[in-house]
Amino acid sequence: MALTKTPDARFANDKEQSERSARAQLEFILANKASLMKIINGRKYAMTADELSSNKEKLTDNQKSYIDVIYERTMKSLGLPYYTGTFKPRRNRI
């Protein structure tokens, strides 16, 4: 039996759901483009969101992840709760 990255069961695969949520996030980003322009690199994020929204093909996993980053930056620019992942290495390991 070969190991695969994604399960073969039809109920365990959420690719369609992640595609729909990424498209909904893109709509939110484009609706709030003016506030996104106020942050650092906001123009770059807005241009990328425009390009990804005009893409008619399915989004890759990396593109979906980047859309999520842009979405969180948009939430931050609006003053809404947002998430930022930070790397904090543990110093005192025993």
- Break the chain into its structural domains and give their ranges: 17-78
Give the model confidence (pLDDT) of 33-92 as tens digits.
999 999 999 999 999 999 999 999 999 999 999 999 999 999 999 988 888 877 777 777
More confident residue, 10 or 29: 29
pLDDT of residue 25: 95
Residue 50: which of 77, 29, 34 has the closest Cα? 29
Gap between the Cα atoms of 87 and 73, Å rounded: 17
pLDDT of residue 24: 96
pTM for the whole structure: 0.76
pLDDT of residue 94: 62
